[in-house]
A and B are shown apart, each in its own frame.
Chain A
Amino acid sequence: MNARLIFKMELFKYLRDKYYLIATLILLGLNVIATIALVNYDHLNSSLLITSIVLAILLFFSNLIFLGIIYPFHLLAIDYKNRVLALMVASGVNRNKLFFAKIGAVILANIVVSFVLLVVPVVTIIYQVGNLGGWDELFREMGMLMVPQMVPLSINAVLSYVAGLFILMTSVIIVKGKTLSILLYFGFNMLVAMVTSFVNTLFTSDYSFTQQLSGDNVFSSVVEVVVILVFGFIALQELRHQNL
């Protein structure tokens, strides 16, 4: 049984995950409604406009929580919550391959769901900016994104996302998929932040608050890689030796 087969079956499972697909569709519907409302803000009276803005802010955080925690946690914990890992392992699934196939499948599923949820608001905003005559400015802004300085930032963002998933997966494996994993996830994140700050103070001679805020991309990327390696190792060791 190879990792590709496990990956394929993970996606097969996610595509039939009825309740979460429904939740995604509901969020998509709300995103579309909020986008339409905000685009047509000049047709709304003041109270409706305030309501729309409040709802849009709530929706923004809902999307953030759904994509950042709830959905990946669900995907990572579903096997533990249903207590099916025993049957999977007894069917010949290799625990190492399962770990990496699952991480890969969760990343892909999250990208697809993010695209589905965000495509309408993002495309509408771009279109609206263009309509308001801001295309030139927009392209200038987008051009800025392409400058070499932005590349490390993008790499750092991707690494940060993957590191977050590894921390979440480690938490899920340690407490065997219990909801407590989310608290452990926040705990691990705090720990990482503390250790990172400490290391940062050791290696930065002219350390200042503004420098910390702007961040050193290379240092951050190295930290994210270390986080991925450390938490990946802990998670793998735990999963390998776990009685199911």
Chain B
Amino acid sequence: MTITIKNLGKSYGSLKALDIDQLTIEPGHTYGLVGANGAGKTTFFKCLTNIITDYSGEIIFDGHNPRKENAILTKMGIVLDDLSVYKDYTARFNIQYFAGLRGHYDVKKVEQMADEIGLLSVLDRPVKTFSYGMQKKLVLLIALVNSAEVLILDEPFRGLDQDTVKWFQNYLREWTGKDQHTLLISSHVQTDLESLCETVFVIDHGRIIKTLDLTADNHQTYRHITTNNDEAFETLLSSEAIPFVKTEVGFKIDISSELWQNVFPQLAENAIVITAMTKVSVLDQQGGIN
């Protein structure tokens, strides 16, 4: 499903929350959205899903305007931080209800996924007894069981335990690799976006100020390194033709993981001890995230 956005604008009083001239989301691709709090990420997602309707401009899904033909949204799954479900009802009811609205409820699939994220044993408990993380898992499950073509996820990992985050990341990697599925995700955790997205939009004050391509060709990994013997390390880098910049506290080097594995044995041979090493995010290198 291709999503075309033209002159999208949304204001809260005098505050311009969104101002996007042109943006195209291609089917089968994965997109990240980064920006500071209040930059307009959630507003953007809410406009896409018709939760906010008083925006100016156009959002078109494969030729359909969701404000007029919102049945197109049945092909989407959404997780927003402030999405809520019926609290007095059970988790199972909520899943069945939202799946039922779309006309399809696959109990086996629901129970299997619930089991994988640790919700199976509490499916028949009222949601009001759930913690924040469990409610987030439930919203996640509702989004995932509907065989969506497009997933829109706003900070989906926040509040989830590590096992669920890992499961979800693996699920998304597998999901995005097939059937022209499209992923739109925002996260403040840069590594999440780097591992999942091909393209990252940087949003600031409602505008897309930068589009970063994270595909393999552009993907460089920088490391900040300090050693016990800077002179020997510099010689080693020069001999291996590894580009580096000497900083006040050590080195900033541009090196792939494979090359780093070649260099590593030579460190021991030259009695060089790495005293500190930090991997620098691709998004950080490009000044992507505030």
**B176 shortest CB reach to chain A, Å:** 20
Are B100's CB and A9's CB within 8 A? yes
**A205 shortest CB reach to chain B, Å:** 48
- A89-B50 contact given A12-B97, A13-B97, CB 8 Å threshold: yes
Q: Is B37 an interface residue (CB 8 A)?
A: no
What 0/1 readout, one digit per residue, does chain A (5-21) give for beta carbons within 8 Å of chain B?
11011001100111100
- A94-B70 contact given A8-B100, A82-B85, CB 8 Å threshold: yes
Can you list 13 A-B pairs with a CB-CB distance of less than 8 A?
Answer: A1-B101, A12-B96, A83-B82, A86-B82, A86-B83, A87-B98, A87-B142, A90-B73, A90-B76, A92-B74, A94-B71, A95-B70, A241-B53
Q: Is B249 an interface residue (CB 8 A)?
A: no
Are A92's CB and B101's CB within 8 A? yes
Are A92's CB and B72's CB within 8 A? yes
**Chain B contact residues, CB within 8 Å of chain A:** 46, 49-54, 70-76, 78, 80, 82-89, 93, 96-98, 100-103, 139, 142, 146
> In the bound complex, what is the Cα–Cα distance between A8 and B142 (angstroms)?
19
Q: Is A40 an interface residue (CB 8 A)?
A: no
Are A90's CB and B50's CB within 8 A? yes
> In the bound complex, what is the Cα–Cα distance between A240 and B100 (angstroms)?
22
User: From B146, which residue of chain A is reached at the shortest CB distance?
Assistant: A91
Are A5's CB and B84's CB within 8 A? no
Q: Is A179 an interface residue (CB 8 A)?
A: no
Q: Name the residue among A19, A87, A94 with the largest chain B CB count within 10 angstroms.
A: A87
Residues of A within 8 A of B139 (CB): 87
**A24 shortest CB reach to chain B, Å:** 15
**Chain A contact residues, CB within 8 Å of chain B:** 1, 5-6, 8-9, 12-13, 16-19, 78, 82-84, 86-95, 240-244
Are B103's CB and A1's CB within 8 A? yes
Are B71's CB and A243's CB within 8 A? no
Secondary structure at the A interface, as helix, strand, loop or mixed, is helix
Residues of B within 8 A of A1 (CB): 71, 74, 101-103
Residues of A within 8 A of B46 (CB): 86, 243
- A83-B84 contact given A90-B49, A242-B53, A243-B52, CB 8 Å threshold: yes
> In the bound complex, what is the Cα–Cα distance between A229 and B101 (angstroms)?
27
**B93 shortest CB reach to chain A, Å:** 6
- 16 extra A-B contacts, CB within 8 A, seeds A13-B93, A241-B54: A1-B101, A5-B100, A12-B100, A13-B86, A82-B85, A82-B88, A86-B83, A87-B98, A89-B49, A89-B50, A89-B51, A90-B76, A91-B98, A92-B73, A92-B75, A242-B53
- A93-B84 contact given A16-B89, A87-B139, A241-B54, CB 8 Å threshold: no
Are A91's CB and B73's CB within 8 A? yes
Residues of A within 8 A of B70 (CB): 89, 92-95
Are B71's CB and A84's CB within 8 A? no
Q: Name the residue among A9, A12, A19 with the largest chain B CB count within 10 angstroms.
A: A9
> In the bound complex, what is the Cα–Cα distance between A76 and B273 (angstroms)?
69
- A19-B49 contact given A92-B102, A93-B70, CB 8 Å threshold: no
> In the bound complex, what is the Cα–Cα distance between A49 and B67 (angstroms)?
62
User: From B66, which residue of chain A is reached at the shortest CB distance?
Assistant: A92
**B264 shortest CB reach to chain A, Å:** 49
